[in-house]
Amino acid sequence: MLEPLNQSNIDATASSPAVSPLTKIFASALYTGFSPVASGTAGSLIGLLIYFLPSFEKTFVILPLSFIVLVLGAFAAKKMETAYGPDPRQVTIDEVLGMWISLLFLQKTIMIAVLTFIIFRIMDIIKPWPARFFDKRSGGWSIMLDDVVAGIYTNLLLQICLFFFT
């Protein structure tokens, strides 16, 4: 439902800093951040789909791209934060990066990918320390780092399980 146009709506819109379309596309992981429900899950799914591009799992591909996304994501997330408020749901590039970190050095199979997706979403929701520390801070780096930590925990948990159960 649309809000009626009044002076407070106009003032809020006029004072919000503009975010370039390119920044929105990147920070929201192809606009998944604007999903009306479960934007973090939608962003994680985009990360998983990108992972399934041929050769993406190779260390010499995924590691440099993860570093680039971390740095650019921190700057893009900060810009989005100034427009949408603290840790905006519209920023989902952090979920993409978290998924990639979760999948590092794992065998590229559908079963492992689905399991990784589920565990990462759980870790991203419960935010074990220090993810919660970063989640409670503002700024682009904090937005990115809480998902990096969730991805590291997911990856370690899966590495341990696969070591003992395969």
Where in the sequence is the domain holding 79, given as residue range(s)?
Answer: 17-165
Per residue in 6-53, pLDDT (tens digit) is 443 333 344 456 899 999 999 999 999 999 999 999 999 999 999 999
Counting the structural domains of the chain, the total is 1
Q: Is residue 43 part of a domain?
A: yes
**According to the model, what pLDDT value does residue 16 have?**
54
pTM of the model: 0.86
Q: Is residue 7 part of a domain?
A: no
How many CB atoms lie under 10 A from the CB of residue 156?
11
Per residue in 77-120, pLDDT (tens digit) is 999 999 998 889 999 999 999 999 999 999 999 999 999 999 99
Q: Is residue 64 part of a domain?
A: yes
Q: Is residue 80 part of a domain?
A: yes
Q: Is residue 10 part of a domain?
A: no
Q: Is residue 3 part of a domain?
A: no
The SS3 of residue 164 is helix
Q: Is residue 12 part of a domain?
A: no
Q: Is residue 91 part of a domain?
A: yes
How many CB atoms lie under 10 A from the CB of residue 135?
17
